[in-house]
Amino acid sequence: MTLAHVQRLRCPRCAARLAFDGTLGGADLDAGTLRCRRCGAGWPVRRGLPDLTDDAEVRGFEWLIRHVYDFIAPFHDLAIRYVLPLAMFCSEEEGRERYVRRLELDRLRPERRQHVHMLDVGVGGGGNLPLIARHLPAGVEAEIWGLDFSANMLAQCVRRLRRWEGPPVHLLLGDAHTLPFPDASFDRVLHSGAIATYRDPRRALAEMARVAKPDTPIVVVDEQLDPVAARSWYRWLAFRAMTLYELSPHAPVEHLPSEAYDVRVEQANSFFYCLTFRVPRRAPERDSDANARPTSFQGTGRSSD
């Protein structure tokens, strides 16, 4: 991440711009502090990775889950690739393929000279990145931003990117409840695999909607048992073992912003739903240093199919 990329970040507390005070490794950030120009909050940068999480806000069950992810990080991708498919009766890539298609990357056109900015909330070890890169049409210039609140999961993603030949990827530690970006920053927004553990899913979904450009697809994926798979005692037991922390795992449609439209819920595979929605164009953004959260939306109501 370079100084130019810092200009895209905002303070999680007050949404003002940040300035970097520290050392560079060539053109990239190395170590130092991102300092808020308004409230003065400081956010550390270690080994080039900004940490914009407020530890005081991560509490309760979410605090426990953060430590669980930190512990299982070295084994997480192996479990997703080899263990989970034994329960779901489908490969890891099949499930990812279904929900990555909902990002509608094929609609991007290089002749429009679009520079696409994508956000992967809960990027984890970066398992979605290869499919995203594969679905980008040739000639489309893209940047992917990956945010996660587990330092050890991001460390796995950093290792993956050492062999990466796709579009630029910028990583940071952050909290999905206070995404450190301006309004309408991203052409596509994806979240997979964690919203059921969030302390406030409604707020997290509102943040994803806030940073998405108007009318662009926002794709959210997490656990929900396919009714057909539920007829198998083996898959039902495997699913319940995965989701002991939640009584009724399901797509959180009830937590969507009221102005969300084109709401679609489908099964990505036996164990995971794919929720897609959009938000309409809203009132012109005020100066980014004066933005307050949450942003209110203006537009038509929700439709679903």
Residue 175, classified by CB atoms within 10 Å of its CB into exposed (0-12), middle (13-18) or buried (19+), is buried
As a whole-number percent, the residues of the chain with pLDDT over 70 amount to 91
Residue scoring higher pLDDT (87 or 124): 124
More confident: 110 or 271: 271
Q: Summarize the confidence of residues 55-63 as an average pLDDT.
A: 88
- Amino acid 169: pLDDT: 97
Q: Is the pLDDT of residue 196 over 70?
A: yes
Sorted by where each starts, the structural domains of the chain and their CATH numbers stand as 1-11+25-45 (no CATH), 55-280 (3.40.50.150)
Give the amino acid at 261: Y
Look at residue 161 in the predicted model and tell me its pLDDT.
95
Strands 42-46 and 49-50: antiparallel
| pLDDT, the chain, mean | 89
Determine the Cα–Cα distance for residues 40 and 34; give it in Å rounded to an integer.
10
pLDDT at 78: 87
Pairing of β 169-173 and β 141-148? parallel
User: By CB neighbour count within 10 A (0-12 exposed, 13-18 middle, 19+ buried), where does 97 fall?
Assistant: middle
Answer whether 268's CB lies under 8 Å from 98's CB: yes
Residue range 35-58: mean pLDDT, rounded: 94
Nearest-angstrom CA–CA distance, 117 and 192: 18
Least confident of 30-39, 60-69, 154-163, 250-259: 60-69
* Interior angle at CA 64, CA 207 and CA 151, nearest 5: 65
Structure tokens at 156: 């796995």
Nearest alpha-carbon partner for 169 in 125, 215, 210: 125
Q: Which DSSP state fits 262?
A: E
Lowest average pLDDT, out of 160-169, 207-216, 258-267, 275-284, goes to 275-284
Give the sheet arrangement for strand 261-267, strand by strand.
169-173, 141-148, 115-121, 188-192, 218-223, 272-278, 261-267
- CA-to-CA distance for 73 and 145, rounded, in angstroms? 20
pLDDT in tens, 274-290: 999 999 987 544 444 44
For residue 149, the 8-state DSSP code is S
Residue of 75, 95, 94, 155 lying closest to 123 (CA atoms): 155
Which H or E run includes 77? helix 60-78
pLDDT tens digits along 65-87: 999 999 999 999 888 888 888 88
The pLDDT-based confidence of 38 (bands split at 50, 70, 90) is very high
Cα 58 from Cα 61, distance rounded (Å): 9
Q: Has residue 298 got a pLDDT over 50?
A: no
> Cβ-count burial of 177 within 10 angstroms (0-12 exposed, 13-18 middle, 19+ buried)?
buried
Determine the pLDDT at residue 59.
Answer: 84
**One-letter amino acid of 79:** A
What sign does the CA torsion over 282, 123, 62, 219 have? positive
Using 50, 70 and 90 to split pLDDT, how confident is the model at 302?
very low
Residue 250 has pLDDT above 60, yes or no: yes
Does residue 294 have a pLDDT over 60? no
Sign, CA dihedral 130-127-200-246, equals positive
Contacts (Cβ under 8 Å, ≥6 apart) of 158: 49, 171
% of the chain at pLDDT higher than 90: 77
Least confident of 9-13, 58-62, 149-153: 58-62
H-type helices in 84-221, by residue range? 84-88, 92-101, 129-135, 151-161, 201-211
